[in-house]
Chains A and B, each alone.
Chain A
Amino acid sequence: MPFRYLAILALVYLYCAPQARAVPSFAEQTGQPCAACHVGAFGPQLRPYGRMFKLNGYTASDGKRHFPPIAMSTYGSFTHTQADQPGGAARWFADNDNFALDQTSLYYAGEIMRHLGAFIQTTYDGVARQYHIDNTDIRYARERDIFGIDSVWGLTLNNSPTVQDLWNSTPAWGFPYNASSLAPTPTAATRIDGSLAQQVVGLGGYVMWNDWVYTEADLYRGLGRDIRNATGIVPVAGSDGVVDTSPYWRVALQHDFGRSNWEVGTYGIVTHILPSGLSPGGRADQFTDIAADANWQFTFSPRQVASDVISAHATIIHEDQDLNASTVLSAADPHGRLTTARADVSYSIAATLTPSAQVFRNSGGEIVELAYAPFGKPDSLIHWGNVRLAAQYVMYSEFDGQTHGASRNNTLYLSVWAAWHF
């Protein structure tokens, strides 16, 4: 008998709760379904409206009060690698064929006060079994005429270079949108490609002029050991440390041309790193990352939120390395270079089924993925959250400079990702 009541209550909730959401509290605030902001009706790949929402400081709303904007997400997975990983894919895990509850995140995501909003993510990493402060971007934005032209200017306080970016070609929100923590991954990566995430804090200013020209400049500082300990950013002992101020820049040309949205741009950062936290003779390694990127999105039917959408993203990152400290510590070559590149394309069918493919270089290979998000459309049955089922296969033709045996790292990754609001 109690099960019957529970079933009735569940059905009533499904039909009466607010509309299905993206980061569900953002969607609750705007009254828009997930698909309004996100390709495939599930984050983080943004559509033009999603980019505009972020540009305007996460403050666009339907005028109703939705405070506090709290949401949750969680995803679990199965990982199979072509070759076993002797000793375990990670502590607490087997050599192969592992199930994991990858991440559970709690978000403050939405308006704080007029013109001020935030995306603050805290995450429990179910593989490392640790809690940490995750992506954070707090923004203040205003609309103003500049030289008689409509413009948006704003400030961003964030903890990962490119987490504040509007496009999915840059590292923080690039494809693949989730990946296995239990598979081998190439070690060679540029500094801007994730290794500074949550290790720094930066303040920047930006302007979008006439919906055409986007410019941004930020200054980052490395977080001290105590703060990294307190926020769960580990390992701290023996890890690299960011010193001095790291300037970051972003320039992009973008516009809507009919049903197409285009972007071409550049971004980069100059950082000074203490390898393993050491500074021999007061020296630090200097990394200069300069990148170019491009985006294209085509919306078949702009009047329909659940329209088919084709998206393509590409970026190339070149890094010059002046290893002034590493060369003293390990007799490394004092100068190095690293160039990575990747490009992906996806076709979202009715904001429900989204096949995607990516090619990547330095370590070389391809990723193919099929994602399915049943909800998040205006007429969806479930109105309080969304779920994304994905099957992903990563194929390596080169792994950390080695072609022989690279395919032993090929990975099948099946995941279930759910998000909901309170």
Chain B
Amino acid sequence: MKRVCLGLAWLAGLAGLAGFSLPAAAATQTIVQSGQAFSETDITVKVGDHVVFANKDDVNHNILVQKGDDDDDAKDMGVQAPGGSVDVLFDQAGKFKVRCHIHPSMKLTVEVQ
């Protein structure tokens, strides 16, 4: 395993010398749904990052992702049971509003750079 890691580091160094850059690994951020609220109100992620929504309440939640103010094309991730989680991939740059369609007061803004 150590030899493989060293090999990858050598390749990365070589790519850097040649003027190439390797894409950064996708990151995952966790948002907790608790007390009928998201744990954050605004977050910033990079294109390709994931956000995991973890339901710590004892009732169902839902994740609705919409771009801008127009909710006609909102992406509905379905019902999220207590203890369940939903993984959302943000693969476009822009500003997204995340809502719970069951609990309209739950609001999160995700800025994807």
The interface-forming segment of B7-15, B20-28, B75-83, B85-93 is B75-83
Residues of B within 8 A of A64 (CB): 79
Evaluate contact between A52 and B58: CB separation under 8 angstroms. Answer: no
Residue B57 interfacial (CB < 8 Å): yes
Q: How far is the CA of A104 from the CA of B58 in the complex (A)?
A: 32
Residue B104 interfacial (CB < 8 Å): yes
Residue A30 interfacial (CB < 8 Å): yes
Closest B residue to A152 by beta carbon equals B104
Closest B residue to A378 by beta carbon equals B58
Residues of A within 8 A of B101 (CB): 60-63
Q: How far is the CA of A414 from the CA of B103 in the complex (A)?
A: 35
Evaluate contact between B102 and A62: CB separation under 8 angstroms. Answer: yes
Residues of A within 8 A of B58 (CB): 303-306, 378
Given that A49-B36, A63-B79, A303-B35 are contacting pairs, would A211 and B59 also be in contact in the complex, using a CB cutoff of 8 Å?
A: no
Mark interface residues in B47-82 (1 if CB within 8 Å of A CB, else 0): 000000000111110100000010100001011001
Interface positions, chain A 33-62, Cβ under 8 Å from B, are: 33, 36, 48-49, 52-53, 55-56, 60-62
Residues of B within 8 A of A145 (CB): 69
Evaluate contact between B60 and A303: CB separation under 8 angstroms. Answer: no
Number of interface residues of B (CB under 8 A): 21
Number of interface residues of A (CB under 8 A): 28
Closest B residue to A52 by beta carbon equals B105
Closest Cβ–Cβ distance, residue A214 to chain B (whole Å): 14
Residues of A within 8 A of B69 (CB): 144-145
Residue A150 interfacial (CB < 8 Å): yes
Closest A residue to B76 by beta carbon equals A63
Closest Cβ–Cβ distance, residue B37 to chain A (whole Å): 8
Evaluate contact between B56 and A61: CB separation under 8 angstroms. Answer: no
Residue A277 interfacial (CB < 8 Å): no
Evaluate contact between A52 and B35: CB separation under 8 angstroms. Answer: no
Closest Cβ–Cβ distance, residue B54 to chain A (whole Å): 13
Mark interface residues in B25-48 (1 if CB within 8 Å of A CB, else 0): 000000000111000000000000
Q: How far is the CA of A302 from the CA of B34 in the complex (A)?
A: 8
Residue B95 interfacial (CB < 8 Å): no
Closest Cβ–Cβ distance, residue B87 to chain A (whole Å): 18
Closest Cβ–Cβ distance, residue B80 to chain A (whole Å): 9
Select which of B34, B71, B79, B104 is within 8 A of A303 by beta carbon: B34
Residues of B within 8 A of A60 (CB): 101-104
Q: How far is the CA of A405 from the CA of B59 in the complex (A)?
A: 51
Given that A144-B69, A303-B56 are contacting pairs, would A30 and B82 also be in contact in the complex, using a CB cutoff of 8 Å?
A: no
Residues of B within 8 A of A48 (CB): 105
Q: How far is the CA of A55 from the CA of B79 in the complex (A)?
A: 22
Evaluate contact between A61 and B102: CB separation under 8 angstroms. Answer: yes
Closest B residue to A141 by beta carbon equals B104
Among B69, B101, B107, the most chain A Cβ lie within 10 Å of the Cβ of: B101
Select which of A56, A150, A378 is within 8 A of B107 by beta carbon: A150
Q: How far is the CA of A152 from the CA of B62 in the complex (A)?
A: 20
Evaluate contact between A305 and B79: CB separation under 8 angstroms. Answer: no
Residue A143 interfacial (CB < 8 Å): yes
Evaluate contact between B105 and A32: CB separation under 8 angstroms. Answer: no
Q: How far is the CA of A31 from the CA of B101 in the complex (A)?
A: 11
Closest Cβ–Cβ distance, residue B106 to chain A (whole Å): 10
Evaluate contact between A62 and B59: CB separation under 8 angstroms. Answer: no
Q: How far is the CA of A31 from the CA of B102 in the complex (A)?
A: 8
Evaluate contact between A302 and B36: CB separation under 8 angstroms. Answer: yes
Select which of A32, A33, A150, A304 is within 8 A of B102 by beta carbon: A32
Q: How far is the CA of A32 from the CA of B80 in the complex (A)?
A: 12
Closest Cβ–Cβ distance, residue B77 to chain A (whole Å): 9
Closest Cβ–Cβ distance, residue A342 to chain B (whole Å): 29
Evaluate contact between A33 and B105: CB separation under 8 angstroms. Answer: no
Evaluate contact between B59 and A33: CB separation under 8 angstroms. Answer: yes
Q: Chain B: residues with CB nearer than 8 A to chain A? A: 34-36, 56-60, 62, 69, 71, 76, 78-79, 82, 101-105, 107
Q: Could you name 8 residue pairs across A and B whose Cβ atoms are closer than 8 Å? A: A30-B102, A60-B103, A62-B101, A63-B79, A143-B71, A302-B34, A305-B59, A306-B58
Q: Chain A: residues with CB nearer than 8 A to chain B? A: 30-33, 36, 48-49, 52-53, 55-56, 60-64, 143-145, 150, 152, 211, 302-306, 378
Given known contacts A55-B104, A60-B102, A60-B104, what 16 new A-B pairs fall within 8 Å (CB)?
A31-B59, A31-B60, A31-B79, A31-B102, A32-B59, A32-B102, A36-B59, A48-B105, A49-B103, A52-B105, A56-B104, A61-B102, A62-B60, A62-B62, A306-B58, A378-B59
